[in-house]
């Protein structure tokens, strides 16, 4: 399955992608995570992306597209992928289209996660990420005991929760503005291609997962051939050889054909005899009686 999760920052794309990744065994490809990793390791790409990310702007298309091309060509993406946070503008969507055509891996669906603006702000300000395993929590919706009861998958100890530097109030406002201006037009872009599915992404994480599952289930059902569908039957190649010809004569169709052939032959014989009789009469010398009569 090849899908894009589309939605504003804080709509739950990351959380739902991670859950989907474990269920479907296909990689989550998050451009935000890839860029954060590049910034953390101080690579050339990371240095170029850092300022834009801190200010809540989009990173240059060329950098993001280069990263995506490299990632989708990796072997694990051949079974499918979940794109999270990409594409984010029309140019990226068109480039993705061309890339997937070249790889012969077209998208199956684009799922848009719908969340009210006030709820987005509430979610982003409560978002915390474990610095070691990368799991995302929300301190305003998950009770502290629940977070503490779960061991970190990397260290086995408690999660070390940190707030993303771009989750502060000023940057969040700019990210939401950029979403409205640059990313929202993708809804129509994908709707026009018949790929868009919209789900209500408010409520608990489990409720949203359930709605996402239902949308994907409906998608799988509509793309699978219907049960009892009347697919044209393949014609069996005609059998050849004397044995096949004898067998064909014994079938009801073969017998009917033979009877028709016999009838046609008998009719032909009758026509020939009649014609011969008429021709014979014409050739016979005129009777002397006839001559006398004349
Ligand atoms: P995210 O984790 O998806 O919210 O992304 C965090 C930041 O990374 C964004 O605010 C952008 O600065 C940058 N970013 C992520 N994905 C893209 C993208 N597809 N195009 C441009 N910038 C991106």
Percent of the chain scoring above 90 in pLDDT = 57
Q: How many CB atoms lie within 10 A of CB 240?
A: 8
Catalytic residue among 2, 13, 19, 123: 13
Residue in 58, 67, 96, 129 to alter for ligand 1 test, most ligand atoms within 8 A of Cβ: 58
Which pLDDT does position 251 carry in this prediction? 72
Q: pTM of the full predicted structure? A: 0.73
R_g of the chain, CA atoms, integer Å: 38
The CA 144 to ligand 1 mean position distance, Å, reads 28
Q: How many CB atoms lie within 10 A of CB 142?
A: 15
Residue 164 known to be catalytic: yes
Q: What is the mean pLDDT of residues 157-173?
A: 87
The CA 219 to ligand 1 mean position distance, Å, reads 28
Spell out a b/e string for 203-234, using b for 16 or more CB atoms within 10 Å of the CB, else e.
eeeeebbebbeebbeebeeeeeeeeeeeeeee
Residue 19 known to be catalytic: no
Question: 292 pLDDT exceeds 60?
Answer: no
Question: 286 pLDDT exceeds 60?
Answer: no
Question: 290 pLDDT exceeds 50?
Answer: no
The CA 169 to ligand 1 mean position distance, Å, reads 17
Tell which wins on pLDDT, 271 or 198: 198
- Inter-helix orientation angle 205-223/13-24, to 10°: 50
Tell which wins on pLDDT, 286 or 13: 13
Ligand 1 proximity of 58 Cβ (cutoff 6 Å): yes
Residue 282 known to be catalytic: no
Which pLDDT does position 147 carry in this prediction? 79
Which pLDDT does position 13 carry in this prediction? 95
Catalytic residue among 19, 123, 175, 211: 175
Residue 36 known to be catalytic: no
Q: What is the mean pLDDT of residues 41-67?
A: 95
Q: Are 35 and 53 in contact (CB under 8 A)?
A: yes
Ligand 1 proximity of 86 Cβ (cutoff 6 Å): yes
Percent of the chain scoring above 70 in pLDDT = 82
Residue 78 known to be catalytic: no
Ligand 1 proximity of 12 Cβ (cutoff 6 Å): no
Which pLDDT does position 291 carry in this prediction? 43
Of 28-37, 106-115, 237-246, 285-294, the least confident? 285-294
The CA 146 to ligand 1 mean position distance, Å, reads 29
């Amino acid at each position: 399955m090849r899908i894009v999760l589309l939605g504003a920052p804080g709509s739950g794309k990351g959380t739902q992608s991670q859950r989907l990744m474990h269920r479907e065994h296909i990689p989550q490809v998050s451009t935000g995570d890839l860029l954060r990793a590049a910034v953390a390791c101080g690579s050339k790409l990371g240095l170029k992306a850092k300022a834009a990310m801190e200010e809540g702007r989009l990173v240059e298309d060329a950098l993001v597209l280069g990263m995506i091309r490299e990632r989708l060509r990796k072997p694990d993406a051949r079974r499918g992928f979940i794109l999270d946070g990409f594409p984010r503008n029309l140019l990226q969507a068109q480039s993705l289209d061309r890339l997937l055509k070249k790889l012969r891996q077209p998208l199956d669906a684009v799922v848009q996660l719908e969340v009210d603006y006030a709820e987005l702000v509430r979610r982003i300000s409560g978002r915390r990420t474990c610095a070691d395993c990368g799991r995302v929590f929300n301190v305003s919706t998950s009770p502290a005991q629940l977070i503490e009861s779960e061991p970190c998958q990397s260290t086995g100890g408690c999660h070390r929760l940190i707030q993303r530097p771009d989750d502060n109030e000023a940057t969040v406002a700019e990210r939401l503005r950029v979403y409205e201006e640059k990313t929202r037009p993708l809804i129509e872009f994908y709707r026009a291609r018949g790929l868009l599915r919209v789900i209500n992404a408010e409520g608990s994480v489990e409720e949203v997962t359930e709605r996402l599952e239902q949308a994907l289930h409906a998608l799988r059902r509509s793309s699978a051939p219907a049960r009892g569908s009347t697919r044209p039957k393949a014609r069996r190649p005609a059998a050849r050889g004397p044995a096949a010809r004898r067998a064909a004569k014994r079938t009801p169709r073969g017998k009917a054909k033979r009877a028709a052939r016999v009838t046609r032959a008998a009719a032909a014989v009758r026509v020939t005899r009649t014609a011969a009789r008429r021709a014979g009469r014409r050739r016979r010398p005129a009777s002397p009686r006839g001559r006398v009569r004349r």
